Amino acid sequence: MIRLPRFLLRLVLVLTVLVLWQGAVHLFAVPAFILPAPSTIGLALWRGFASGLYLDHLHVTVAETLLGFVFGSILALVLGTVIALSRRVEYFLYPFVVMFQSMPKVALAPLIIVWFGLGLTSKVAQAAVTAFFPLMVNTIAGLRSADEDRVALMRSLDASELQILTMLRVPSAMPFIMAGFEIAMVLSLIGAIVAEFVGAQKGLGVLIMSMTFTMDVAGQFSVLLILSLLGLLLNGIIVLVRKRLLFWDASQKLHADVPAEGGKL
Amino acid sequence: MSALAAAGGKELIAIDHLSKTYLARTGAVTALDDIDFSVGEGQFVAIVGPSGCGKSTLLKILAGLIPASQGEARLSGTPIAGPRRDIGVVFQSPVLFPWRTVLSNALLPVDVQRLGRVQLNAAAMDLLALVGLKGFEQRYPWELSGGMQQRVAMVRALIHNPAILLMDEPFGALDAMTREQMNVELQRIWLERRKTVLFITHSIAEAVFLADRVLVMTPRPGRIMDDVLVELPRPRNLEIMNTPAFGEYVQRIRVRFQATGGLDA
């Protein structure tokens, strides 16, 4: 048996699927509004970019996602830290946390549009609200994960609680927080797109909706492709930062070779 | 002649009828019962006892990590009311921070107590060289063997130049060969730096090899039942463990344990 490198096998598999897809569409004369051929999708993609239409919408979605990620993360880190440090705050916030946790955050989108309007703010708010929860949970778990012996060591050195926080608890929490960032980034993109579906003037979500009305299924596929690549890129940035920051984390090295794809919604 | 007088130094640690009672689910448990002894400046005192005799509890009280129930412990004349900066502690595990380099780990007390890295960097380099870690300053703890990690922990305990070094079974987790080697090195460091050391162990041989004086503890409740002055010449090498004089000390202590129901190691 010929032993091909694994990445080559992967590539061959992808190409085979595309060729079969193309062949099947032509063979069975599938209408383009049901399932367009890969070549048609490619053409739609090229046209979209050539006309500047896609970029126009893409940068809006990217801005919403990143801003939502930043605000959601700040909220999650601050709230998570406060809760992790004070059992009392945790006790009083707990009912709100539980209620918020069990609610699908995307269901807030119509309300958020009413509150914040059709502009950028509502998308950022939705992205932030969608993204913040898992990061907050990870921040709490991470800050409480500090090894008891290390805490005892810091105390024996007469360290203040603030020093224990900054010199021990925060570094100990970083693996949890980075994992939280990864999830938050993906969720920000979801939040932004859903809010765009509900009400917006620009963005890839808006583009998909308008393509639905014109039955431009090939166009929709091409936008989905962009969204998928965008998600990969954003996730890749976080993974890169994580590897840089968490060089010391043994658990990191174990799954460093396995890409973080899959498992993410 | 009292053991303290034999050391010739002034009293540095004074433990005055100290007791510690825990509230467990089954009722009050007396971990330490009327512990009363003092340690002279520059003395190397080993406390030997079986597991559960409360020797670690005693060390935690001295480190200011937990309060005593009755009696008090004084360091240089002042009662111990919390963590103090004139104490260095070495725990059973190295308790290093994986995100800090070897040098940076050694300088942790300097960072916590704001003693100034600039002033103490050279001291840390010297100490690391003293324990045989020259050239490893910029490595990370996870790149080191267990014995090397424990040496870093020793440097960290010495860097802020404490009056007293508390060691809680520091070599308990190491293999027998490394352990003997570490004993020789600890003696060498002690002869050079002349710190007052309180060394907790459950190995009689280790206690006799290292100490000027061995305090023998009974289990449940922890009491001191013997105070053995070890008058073997220094520097001691590993061969001394085969001499009759060494054997007599070990035998004397072992007999004490057998009388109370045996020792686990």
Say whether B140 and A248 touch across the interface (CB within 8 A): yes
What letter would DSSP give residue B10?
Answer: P
Report the CATH number that the domain containing residue A177 is assigned in CATH.
1.10.3720.10
Q: Mean pLDDT, to the nearest integer, of B147-156?
A: 92
Say whether A157 and B85 touch across the interface (CB within 8 A): yes
* Facing B95 at nearest CB: one of A150, A163, A167: A150
Are residues B181 and B137 part of one domain? no
Minimal-distance CA residue of chain B relative to A163: B112
Report the CATH number that the domain containing residue B169 is assigned in CATH.
3.40.50.300
* B162 vs A93: CA distance, rounded Å: 44
Domain count, chain B: 2
Q: Mean pLDDT, to the nearest integer, of B91-105?
A: 94
Minimal-distance CA residue of chain A relative to B64: A156
Q: Is residue B114 part of a domain?
A: yes
Minimal-distance CA residue of chain A relative to B84: A158
Domain count, chain A: 1
ipTM: 0.86
CA quadruple B168, B170, B176, B179: dihedral positive or negative? negative
Domain hosting residue B143, numbered range: 100-160
Q: Is residue A12 part of a domain?
A: no
Are residues B105 and B45 part of one domain? no
Are residues B167 and B156 part of one domain? no
Structure confidence at residue A2 as a pLDDT band (50, 70, 90) = low
Minimal-distance CA residue of chain B relative to A170: B99
pLDDT, chain B, mean: 87
CA quadruple B202, B206, B209, B211: dihedral positive or negative? negative
Are residues B126 and B193 part of one domain? no
Are residues B173 and B82 part of one domain? yes
Q: Is residue B265 part of a domain?
A: no
Q: Is the Cβ of A148 closer than 8 Å to some Cβ of chain B?
A: no
Q: Kind of pairing, strands B11-24 and B27-40?
A: antiparallel
* B204 vs B214: CA distance, rounded Å: 9
Q: Mean pLDDT, to the nearest integer, of B103-107?
A: 95
Predicted local distance difference test score (pLDDT) of residue B226 = 86
Q: Is residue B106 part of a domain?
A: yes
Are residues B124 and B58 part of one domain? no
Are residues B194 and B154 part of one domain? no
Phi, psi of A37 (to 5 degrees): -70, 155
Q: Mean pLDDT, to the nearest integer, of A5-19?
A: 91
Sheet bearing B196-201, strands edge to edge: B87-90, B164-168, B196-201, B44-48, B213-218, B223-229
Instruction: From A82, A31, A51, A89, select the one nearest A217 (Cα to Cα).
Output: A31
First to last CA, chain B: 31
Are residues B119 and B53 part of one domain? no
Chain mean position to CA A76: 15
Q: Is residue A179 part of a domain?
A: yes
Q: Is residue A21 part of a domain?
A: no
Summarised one tens digit per residue, pLDDT across range A165-208 is 999 999 999 999 999 999 999 999 999 999 999 988 999 999 99
Say whether B63 and A167 touch across the interface (CB within 8 A): no
With contact defined as beta carbons under 8 Å apart, do B160 and B115 qualify? yes
Q: Is the Cβ of B98 closer than 8 Å to some Cβ of chain A?
A: yes
Predicted local distance difference test score (pLDDT) of residue A1 = 57
Phi, psi of B88 (to 5 degrees): -115, 135
Q: Is residue A31 part of a domain?
A: no
Q: Is residue A7 part of a domain?
A: no
Q: Kind of pairing, strands B196-201 and B164-168?
A: parallel
* Facing B97 at nearest CB: one of A150, A157, A163: A150
